[in-house]
Amino acid sequence: MQQFRPYRLGRFDISRPWVMGILNVTPDSFWDGSRCDTQQAVERRVGQMLDEGADVIDIGAYSTRPGAAEVPVGDELARIEMAMGVVRRLAPGMVTSVDTFRACVAQHAVEHLGVDIVNDVSGGTLDSDMFGTVARLQVPYILMHMRGTPATMQQLTDYDNLVEDVVDDLCVKLDALHDLGLREVVIDPGFGFSKTLEQNYELMACLERFHRLEAPLLVGVSRKSMVYKALGCTPGEALNGTTVLNTLALMAGAHILRVHDVKAAVEARTLVEKTRQSLSNHS
């Protein structure tokens, strides 16, 4: 079992793995159980995540599943603003992130809505202004690996060496962000994005290799096709499989689990930490 390495992320300490609850303020996210397209639905979802022990809430207002509808900037911002209003009312001190690939949305969310972290599934590839924007804002940034766009990514799965290619790509972008003066960067291998089913499991098996980048590691596999296709079930039936993979990620030293089901992830973290402590006591 990989030893857990604490990190400082801006004003936040990741002294134990974080559970990041997903708040999809969209009508068309891939799993219908996660869609919150009214204020009442957002309030129920936020209240549930708070009760279950979320460390951070990740607000997404633009689905990146293949075939998702285009969302105008104004609509994306309006959805985020509504969700942030709910979060700040119910939990004023909650850490929040915004799931967007648009630099202008990230800037507005940070400067005007008080969002703490920018989570960019494109790793800066869909908006050339993103790296400069987050560096200027000096806000923690989640750098994910993806090729192409959500519409084309599944045709871009040819690699010379999957794990090394993904690590190298993240390394180049991490260096670029460091050169711009941003040090608070989280890396995300991008499970499900420009990877085949088999490639997703190769990444999971080799997750410890990403620690060489010396950055906090986020894993997001919640109810994704790598779970439900492998098990022959639906996204709605994929909680148990998700928990198994989240446990493997924690054992490999992951710092953040991005999940739909906060309670299950918190329980997995508790049991992995107990196991890790027992190993330490008997070593």
Catalytic site positions: 224, 258
- d(Cα 279, Cα 170) in Å, to the nearest integer? 32
- d(Cα 205, Cα 251) in Å, to the nearest integer? 11
Lookup result for tokens 């607000």: 59
Q: The tokens of 78 are what? A: 């309006």
User: Which uninterrupted H or E stretch holds 151?
Assistant: none
- d(Cα 118, Cα 144) in Å, to the nearest integer? 11
Residue 170's CB is within 10 A of a number of other CB atoms, namely 22
CA angle in degrees (0–180, nearest 5) for 212-17-202: 50
For the chain, where are the alpha helices, taking DSSP H only? 39-52, 73-90, 103-113, 130-137, 162-179, 197-205, 225-231, 239-251, 262-281
Q: Which residues contact 97 (CB under 8 A, 6 or more apart)?
A: 20, 56, 57, 58, 59, 115, 116, 117, 118, 119, 142
Q: Residue 33: helix, strand or coil by DSSP? A: helix
Residue 126's CB is within 10 A of a number of other CB atoms, namely 18
